[in-house]
Amino acid sequence: MTSLRAVKGMNDVLPEEMPRWHFVERTYAETMRRHGYREVRTPYVEPTGLFVRTVGETTDIVEKEMYSFVYQGEELTLRPEGTAGAARAYVEHSVHGREGISRWYYVGPMFRGERPQRGRYRQFYQLGAEIFGDAGPGCDAEMIDMLVGFLRELGIGDAEVLVNSIGGSDTRERFKQALVQYLEPRKAKLTADSQRRLGTNPLRILDSKAEEDQAAIAEAPTVLEFLAPEDRAHFDKLEAFLKALGTPYRVEPRLVRGLDYYTRTLFEIKGAKAKLGAGDTLLGGGRYDNMVGDLGGGSVPALGFAAGLERLLIASEASPPPSAPPVYVAALGDAACSAALVLARDLRKSGLSAEGDARGGSLKSQLRRANTLGARFALVVGESELARGVVQAKDLGAHAQEEVSRDRVHEWITARMTSPEGSAS
């Protein structure tokens, strides 16, 4: 029989890794709360057409990377990203009719059939956020500044912010023409994919990582040279706001992103190159002022970003505060076993993490188990303690032991917990 293993590019996250995940997720939720975002949860599966329409038919994601299938006649796809689903939900529930500006955030798995490598997986987690209803560059700047602060809280010190503008449809049309004019004579030097895209979606060529394409586009015109006046004004204001906020950034006129829905502002934050190598884009985002309208929701500007959670974990130098170790309750003798279970349950009710061991065995073997669990306190209940309503309370960190009355155990533990390990006697 072939052994059953996790699907290539999809990873288990084992319990010992979870404290770091929880730390990043908590820090993110707290950042979101402070900035007025509320959590949204949308399905992992959406109609395939949603991604074709929004992400774009000729993007790598839609052309090559989607987990699509037909179920009972419906064409469905495991979501490769979260923006399209959020915008669909926004339109479907007529949220615009109820509130002027909506700030949403999400955390969850995304699926892309990419070639797995460090920081690139086929199931990966994104932390993302979308703002619907705010057209101004102030909100672009605020989001970028918020993300710089968030990365700092995660202990990611060397983050580099890149910004660009892809403009509105006028700008893009003029830029596309100029790009095609420039690339047409160099067509033979492009990869087959890019040669095809010259006819279908020339902007995607700028996003190619292939060396041949990189060489051909090195001197190509950049979109900033073609910005229409209102796009230029938006970009200038964004820069002014970033400067006022003191947010470090660099204009990168060659920055294009791999999704077709963007308008005007684009940004990425890179970091931890030494640990992430080529896949050092920690997060990316931008404006997509036409998506809600394209989905039938009227004219509602939008902006958002998403970060790869695994990449943040690789880049982060912060260690989460250790969680309080459990209290171990040892039982000596049959009668004490039930008392140990009851005592552990009562300690849990008062908020402690406790483990009652009703498996029996010698005191030595039970204390060994307490050690393995990483417990700082062990409470020993034997027949004589049971009869007298007490426990032998051991502070394993301080190598101290005391007989404590059964109803004072919680008090005894909390008093010692607040004093540093080993200092109480």
| Residues near ligand HAM (CB under 6 A) | 81-83, 112, 114, 119-121, 124, 126, 128, 130, 257-259, 281-286, 288, 304-308, 310-311
Q: What 8-state DSSP symbol labels residue 352?
A: -
CA–CA separation, 32 vs 26, rounded Å?
Answer: 10
C-beta separation of 347 from 383 below 8 A: no
Tally DSSP H helices, then E strands, for the chain: 16, 16
Nearer to ligand HAM, 264 or 376 (CB): 264
CA–CA separation, 364 vs 355, rounded Å?
Answer: 17
Structure tokens at 287: 């404006």
Ordered strands of the 68-71 beta sheet: 45-47, 74-78, 68-71
CA–CA separation, 331 vs 148, rounded Å?
Answer: 52
The distance of closest approach from Cβ of residue 282 to ligand HAM in the complex, given in angstroms and rounded to an integer, is 6
Nearer to ligand HAM, 139 or 391 (CB): 139
The distance of closest approach from Cβ of residue 284 to ligand HAM in the complex, given in angstroms and rounded to an integer, is 4
C-beta separation of 253 from 291 below 8 A: no
The distance of closest approach from Cβ of residue 279 to ligand HAM in the complex, given in angstroms and rounded to an integer, is 7
Question: Helix %, strand %, coil % for the chain, to 5?
Answer: 45, 20, 35
The distance of closest approach from Cβ of residue 129 to ligand HAM in the complex, given in angstroms and rounded to an integer, is 7
Which residues touch 231 (CB under 8 Å, ≥6 apart)? 165, 167, 168, 170, 171, 264
Nearer to ligand HAM, 127 or 331 (CB): 127
Nearer to ligand HAM, 316 or 366 (CB): 316
The distance of closest approach from Cβ of residue 104 to ligand HAM in the complex, given in angstroms and rounded to an integer, is 10
CA–CA separation, 177 vs 304, rounded Å?
Answer: 28
Q: What 8-state DSSP symbol labels residue 45?
A: E
C-beta separation of 51 from 67 below 8 A: no
The distance of closest approach from Cβ of residue 89 to ligand HAM in the complex, given in angstroms and rounded to an integer, is 14
Nearer to ligand HAM, 47 or 258 (CB): 258
Nearer to ligand HAM, 257 or 416 (CB): 257
The distance of closest approach from Cβ of residue 196 to ligand HAM in the complex, given in angstroms and rounded to an integer, is 21
Strands 160-165 and 123-132: unpaired
Nearer to ligand HAM, 231 or 357 (CB): 231
